[in-house]
Amino acid sequence: MKTLEKVGRARALVRYFRDREASMLGKLFVLMAVVYVVSPIDLIPDVPIVGWLDDIGVMGLAVAWMWKIVGRYREAPQLSEAAGEGRRERLQVTV
């Protein structure tokens, strides 16, 4: 069951990054957090334990934010179908 939850979260994350209406700033924040953790340039040099705290803090913020966003996108198929129907209705009305 937990494996299915992880797959659902991964799909939701992909859905988020493919969504053109999603916040570009949010996407950049996550990507920059990953780049910051991987990059050798840090605010605090990577001295054991003390130097890892800034990396842990940045990734903690990014993961917490993504957890919140992914929760919205896990239900996206039903919402997008309903939104698509609403768009069709609006198109019919405006035509």
Give tens-digit pLDDT for 69-91: 888 777 645 544 545 554 444 43
Longest dimension (CA), the chain: 65
DSSP for 25-78, please give it: HHHHHHHHHHHHHHSS--SS---TTTTHHHHHHHHHHHHHHHHHHHHHHTTHHH
Judged against a pLDDT cut of 80, whether residue 2 lies above it is answered with: no
What integer pLDDT is reported at residue 53 of this predicted model? Answer: 83
Each domain of the chain, given as residue ranges in start order, spans 2-94
Evaluate whether 50 touches 44 at the Cβ level (below 8 Å): yes
- pTM of this structure: 0.59
7-62 pLDDT tens trace: 677 888 888 889 888 889 989 998 999 888 888 777 777 677 777 888 888 899 99
State how far the alpha carbon of 19 is from the alpha carbons of 12, 59, 62, 73, in Å.
10, 22, 18, 10
Residue 79: per-residue pLDDT: 47
- The pLDDT-based confidence of 93 (bands split at 50, 70, 90) is very low
